[in-house]
């Protein structure tokens, strides 16, 4: 642990892998319980009180058969547009977490002890997938044999939520799957009330973007393999984004 000036404070041994740091004593971790067919994953807030060997765990969410798509026997695969996963994001300032199964549009707003504060639900039509769509998603538009064994086990509908992002002012952005390799962004205020939809520019993978007070930033890969850092300003939403950056 270092202070804000970069000065070393202390070293601590953790017996769990921290996926997200809430503060110096609390982390969000992901765990797998059991194996096939009882394949369960869960997300928890784990507290490591200072000067203590005690570990306190607060479960946020659990789900069966997430993170992977099973085939026959022990065969399995994963792909970002069709694999069930637990999606979550944590707001340090408001001391709350948003968690959901990415195949459904039901987002549980919880405090960091795992208690449900509210549920965000928005009517949503699932994106149905043809065999051609599945091939496109599995191969990233590269040539592949249409007899690929994964087609048999790939879901017939895409996931509902690609992920969630925090916006300035405590607003929440839900990256909703609106088509094959297409995303739209649903914006909710701090009370979970739907506000509007952000439509990303064509060619921008908003799932890779990070949001800031001026808008968003992402790294785009060009056809020749070069990567370019790009920033996008959002000028018409002054309640969230503050224009003025040149």
Amino acid 144: pLDDT:
59
Amino acid 60: pLDDT:
96
pLDDT above 70 coverage of the chain, percent: 96
Q: Please, which pLDDT band fits residue 59 given cuts at 50, 70 and 90?
A: very high
Amino acid 46: pLDDT:
92
pLDDT at 212 over 70: yes
Q: Are 30 and 42 in contact (CB under 8 A)?
A: yes
Q: Please, which pLDDT band fits residue 143 given cuts at 50, 70 and 90?
A: low
Question: Average of pLDDT values for 96-101?
Answer: 97
Q: Are 163 and 83 in contact (CB under 8 A)?
A: no
pLDDT at 103 over 70: yes
pLDDT above 90 coverage of the chain, percent: 52
Amino acid 140: pLDDT:
74
Amino acid 93: pLDDT:
92
Question: Average of pLDDT values for 55-59?
Answer: 91
Structure tokens at 141: 């538009």
Question: Average of pLDDT values for 192-210?
Answer: 89
Tokens 């200072």 belong to residue:
50
Question: Average of pLDDT values for 148-168?
Answer: 93
pTM of the entire predicted model: 0.88
| DSSP states of 29-71 | EEEEES-TTS-EEEEEEEE--TT----EEEEEEEEES-S-EE-
pLDDT at 5 over 80: yes
104-115 pLDDT, tens digit per residue, is 999 999 999 999
Amino acid 177: pLDDT:
96
Beta bridge partners of 182: 179
Q: Please, which pLDDT band fits residue 246 given cuts at 50, 70 and 90?
A: very low
């Amino acid at each position: 642990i270092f202070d804000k000036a970069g000065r070393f404070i202390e070293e601590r041994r953790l017996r769990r892998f921290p996926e997200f740091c809430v503060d110096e004593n609390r982390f969000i971790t992901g765990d797998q319980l059991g194996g096939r067919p009882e394949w369960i994953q869960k997300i928890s807030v784990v507290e490591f009180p200072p000067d203590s060997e005690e570990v306190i765990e607060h479960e946020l969410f659990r789900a069966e058969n997430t993170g992977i798509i099973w085939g026959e026997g022990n065969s399995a695969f994963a792909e970002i547009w069709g694999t069930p996963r637990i999606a979550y994001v944590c707001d340090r300032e408001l001391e709350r977490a948003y968690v959901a199964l990415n195949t459904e549009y039901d987002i549980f707003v919880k405090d960091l002890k795992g208690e449900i504060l509210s549920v965000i639900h928005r009517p949503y039509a699932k994106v149905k997938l043809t065999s051609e769509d599945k091939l496109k998603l599995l191969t990233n538009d590269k040539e592949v044999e249409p007899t690929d064994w994964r087609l048999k086990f790939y879901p017939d509908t895409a996931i509902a939520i690609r992920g969630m992002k925090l916006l300035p002012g405590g607003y929440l952005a839900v990256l909703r799957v609106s088509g094959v390799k297409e995303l739209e962004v649903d914006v909710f205020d701090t009370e979970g009330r739907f506000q509007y939809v952000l439509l990303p520019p064509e060619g921008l993978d908003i799932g890779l973007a990070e949001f800031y007070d001026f808008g968003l930033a992402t790294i785009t890969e060009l056809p020749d393999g070069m990567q370019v850092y790009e920033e996008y300003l959002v000028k018409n939403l002054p309640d969230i984004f503050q224009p003025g950056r040149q």
